A and B are shown apart, each in its own frame.
Chain A
Amino acid sequence: MLSSTADNLFWMARYMERSENTARLLTGLYHMSLLPARRGAQAGLWEGLFQSEEEREAYLAKYDAFKTDPVLTYMVLDRDNPSSIRSCVWSARENVRATRHVLTTDMWETINSTWLDIAQVTYADMQDMGHHEFLEWIKVRSHLFRGVAHGTMRRGEAFEFWRMGVFIERAENTIRLLAARAHTFKPSGPASRPDTATLDYYQWGTLLRSVNAYKAYREIYKSQIDPRRVVELLILNPEIPRSVIACVEETCEVLEGLRPRSRSYEQGSDLLNRLQAARIDRIYRTGMARFLEDYRAGLHDLSLQIQRDFLMIQ
């Protein structure tokens, strides 16, 4: 397969996955912004979305405050924001368009109709429909696309590069989701003090729901929601499809199938080993924020190495 085609497939998967993850993230935050404890403290909540200085600056260049309406406009529909949901769908669609000849017609039709729909949407439409319903719709369209890809693509290289894009993006997003709350992690002490237990319940409950892991948490831990266990579940539990370890496992599997003697596979395996050997208590002791930051850098390096080994970086 052409390297550029593989590159398109990889990014098509990443952008589509990213649009879904942004929808999930926003659903969670929007939900929290409506909670009683959050009234009046919205600024901090929405501001947490912008993790780097460039992201903050780009936002503040267009809008003056971190409030629900402008932030949602920016993150969902703003065509100047390259990571808005609209832009992600557009980029995914352009990548599909460039590789239509290796994809099934159903995949093209799915992404194209999603694009044609979202291209028309205004913020007023979104309010009419309800933020929750709208974000849910994005999620469903992403599910649909993934389902169509899974159900119609020939099991060959194209499928594998698509799969790899999905999992690398998903791993990065789960880390991002946790990093947004890294400042609330305390290195020691009891899991939850009684006075913050209610808030924790809502916050972490919402987080779990936004990655469809709430029920899994209940089944596995059968206890009240403890941030440490939430983190354990979302980083180290391979049974959870959006956990970091599950995503890295899938990525390694793809790399092993593609070319077991590549630098990419080596790097992927290292990343996987790090998680397999990790214990949540140790992660806590060394510092949650630092762990997430290191791991995110590791994933980024892996993504670059994949591009060097197979894709368009020479």
Chain B
Amino acid sequence: MHAANGDIRPAYREYSAWLTDQSLDRLRQKHQQADLLFRRLGITFTVYGEDEGGERMIPFDVIPRVLSHEEWAVLERGAIQRVDALNAFLHDIYHDQEIIRAGLVPAELVMTNEAFQPQMLGLDLPRRVYAHVSGVDVVRIDDKTFFVLEDNVRTPSGVSYMLENRETMMRLFPDLFARSVVAPVDRYPEYLLHSLQAVAPLGVDDPTVVLMTPGQYNSAYFEHAFLATEMGIELVEGRDMFVDSGSVFMRTTEGPKRVDVIYRRIDDGFIDPLAFNPESALGVPGILSVVRSGRVTLCNAIGTGVADDKAMYVYVPDMIRFYLGEEPVLQNVPTFSCRKADDLKYVLDNIADLVVKEVHGSGGYGMLVGPKATKAQCADFKKRLQAEPDNYIAQPTLALSTCPTLVEEGIAPRHVDLRPFVLSGEKTRVMPGGLTRVALKAGSLVVNSSQGGGTKDTWVLEAPAVVEDEE
């Protein structure tokens, strides 16, 4: 909330004035109300292995994170630029592989990547879009700088929290929204549907779009159902669909109906038991052949994971320069690739100051936060690094920005990150806002919900309206 010099950031001025007038009791009461609201609406995520579906809620913090119009403009430009470059990269590596031939990205990093799908080679996708929905995780380092932590172009989740958090805030604090001009995010489902319709197979005029979920025991099921409802499309599982004479159909009460675009929230490996994991009961046998013949569009496309891998991350700025001829708007966190001997040596020597991550890890698992780790933990990680250097990257620990957060002791600063959601279809756009995740433990940098993180509403203040002179 505060700038480097200790002043309150301009974006927070209105909010801060309001907050000063609030008693802690009132905030706590609102917090409880929010909790009840979320529970009643069933906004939960599933924790595997717990009794009766093990539904839990991601803690919601009633104090929003506020960004000014100017700050947002930079983020927006940067996120769009990044996703455009990633889409260009995906098209390239599944076609001519110019970036490899130009020597910018090592071939083996692409070709031996687990997420690389040879079945996608040479396939032309509608509008050349691979990642239709992306999440770009950013953190603020100082007044001017946002770093990109990672890109998510497989099946990023969390957008329902962006929408429900706002809805909840508006219910709890209507007075606040009267004071500030917060950019609305509620058209996301409409834009998403529009993006999905825009990538329908050639020649389909009024495409049938569906959302494919692994089922109601998936951790993000709530979100799947939520988005399907908001878009007014069918929420399907693998068992609802089948392949017949070269098309995908869903089973309905009135007989089979053809499906044109599938917004799938299921991983590559499960989508087609004939092509990938034969054990998968979640997929649709034969669907990949329909994808290959261009008669159904999968969103996101199969094989996008090669672009958001942590090992590939270091090359994204080069991709931006290579494909778009622009300088990156958003910076990468300086990253050491342990696959390089020099970098590995540096990481081993300085492990106590670094954050070490597995290349393919996600969800805050398999990482070491050097400054918080014990000597034994550091030693253990060193061994792992030496055994499998390719499997790790390392980054300096960052002075992440904090945001006031309601905790046990009162209102205290907690570290936050931000995931804006980027849609690609006819054009690329970002909703003004995103998912702010907050580390609820004092000093903690880990914001993942599976590791005790919470969420906040994210406000982007609109530019002051230009008052036209009266004639």
Interface residues of A (CB under 8 A from B): 1-6, 90, 94, 97-98, 100-102, 105, 108-109, 112-113, 116, 119, 157, 161, 258, 310-312
Also in contact, A2 and B52, with CB within 8 A (given A105-B41, A109-B40) = no
Closest-CB distance, B186 to chain A (whole angstroms): 16
> Which residues of chain A are near B251, meaning CB under 8 Å?
2-4, 312
Closest-CB distance, B235 to chain A (whole angstroms): 5
> Which residues of chain B are near A116, meaning CB under 8 Å?
39
Of chain A, the residue at the smallest CB distance from B42 is A112
Also in contact, A101 and B253, with CB within 8 A (given A2-B240, A4-B239, A90-B52) = no
Question: Does B182 count as interface, using CB distance less than 8 angstroms?
Answer: no
**Contact call A101/B40, Cβ cutoff below 8 A:** no
Closest-CB distance, A236 to chain B (whole angstroms): 32
**Contact call B228/A97, Cβ cutoff below 8 A:** no
Closest-CB distance, B169 to chain A (whole angstroms): 18
Closest-CB distance, B219 to chain A (whole angstroms): 14
A-B CB contacts (within 8 Å), total count: 56
Of chain A, the residue at the smallest CB distance from B231 is A101
Out of A1, A2, A97, A105, name the residue touching B216 (CB < 8 Å). Answer: A97
Closest-CB distance, B240 to chain A (whole angstroms): 5
> Which residues of chain B are near A90, meaning CB under 8 Å?
52
Of chain A, the residue at the smallest CB distance from B242 is A314
Question: Does B58 count as interface, using CB distance less than 8 angstroms?
Answer: no
Question: Does B234 count as interface, using CB distance less than 8 angstroms?
Answer: yes
> Which residues of chain B are near A101, meaning CB under 8 Å?
225-226, 228-229, 235
Closest-CB distance, A305 to chain B (whole angstroms): 14
Q: Please name 19 pairs of A and B residues whose Cβ atoms are closer than 8 Å in the assembled complex, sorted by A.
A: A1-B253, A1-B254, A2-B236, A2-B250, A2-B251, A3-B240, A3-B253, A5-B235, A94-B53, A94-B216, A97-B221, A100-B42, A101-B225, A101-B226, A105-B41, A108-B41, A116-B39, A157-B253, A161-B253
User: CA A102 – CA B225 in complex, angstroms?
Assistant: 9
> Which residues of chain B are near A108, meaning CB under 8 Å?
41-42
Give the 5 A-B residue pairs with the shortest CB-CB distance, closest first: A101-B229, A3-B251, A101-B228, A310-B253, A101-B225
User: CA A157 – CA B229 in complex, angstroms?
Assistant: 16
**Contact call A258/B253, Cβ cutoff below 8 A:** yes
Given contacts A1-B253, A2-B250, A2-B252, 5 further A-B contacts (CB under 8 A): A4-B240, A101-B235, A102-B229, A105-B41, A161-B253
> Which residues of chain B are near A312, meaning CB under 8 Å?
239, 251
> Which residues of chain A are near B239, meaning CB under 8 Å?
4, 312
> Which residues of chain B are near A113, meaning CB under 8 Å?
40
Also in contact, A3 and B252, with CB within 8 A (given A94-B216, A101-B235) = yes
Of chain B, the residue at the smallest CB distance from A98 is B216
User: CA A111 – CA B375 in complex, angstroms?
Assistant: 51
Interface residues of B (CB under 8 A from A): 39-42, 52-53, 216, 221, 225-226, 228-229, 234-237, 239-240, 250-254
User: CA A1 – CA B234 in complex, angstroms?
Assistant: 8
Closest-CB distance, A3 to chain B (whole angstroms): 4
> Which residues of chain B are near A98, meaning CB under 8 Å?
216
**Contact call A97/B236, Cβ cutoff below 8 A:** no
> Which residues of chain A are near B225, meaning CB under 8 Å?
97, 100-101
> Which residues of chain B are near A1, meaning CB under 8 Å?
252-254
Closest-CB distance, B159 to chain A (whole angstroms): 15
Chain B CB within 10 A, most for which of A100, A112, A113, A119 = A100
Closest-CB distance, A158 to chain B (whole angstroms): 10
User: CA A161 – CA B251 in complex, angstroms?
Assistant: 16
Of chain A, the residue at the smallest CB distance from B239 is A4
Of chain A, the residue at the smallest CB distance from B234 is A2
Closest-CB distance, B194 to chain A (whole angstroms): 19
> Which residues of chain A are near B235, meaning CB under 8 Å?
5, 101
User: CA A112 – CA B42 in complex, angstroms?
Assistant: 7
Closest-CB distance, B254 to chain A (whole angstroms): 8
User: CA A310 – CA B229 in complex, angstroms?
Assistant: 22
Out of B42, B216, B237, B253, name the residue touching A6 (CB < 8 Å). Answer: B253
Out of A4, A100, A157, name the residue touching B237 (CB < 8 Å). Answer: A4
Out of B39, B42, B252, B254, name the residue touching A97 (CB < 8 Å). Answer: B42
Closest-CB distance, A139 to chain B (whole angstroms): 22
> Which residues of chain B are near A105, meaning CB under 8 Å?
41
> Which residues of chain B are near A311, meaning CB under 8 Å?
253
Of chain B, the residue at the smallest CB distance from A314 is B251
User: CA A310 – CA B251 in complex, angstroms?
Assistant: 9
User: CA A185 – CA B40 in complex, angstroms?
Assistant: 48
Of chain A, the residue at the smallest CB distance from B250 is A2
Closest-CB distance, A239 to chain B (whole angstroms): 31
User: CA A101 – CA B235 in complex, angstroms?
Assistant: 8
> Which residues of chain B are near A102, meaning CB under 8 Å?
229
> Which residues of chain A are near B237, meaning CB under 8 Å?
4
Out of A2, A5, A6, A100, name the residue touching B229 (CB < 8 Å). Answer: A100
User: CA A5 – CA B221 in complex, angstroms?
Assistant: 15
Closest-CB distance, B80 to chain A (whole angstroms): 30
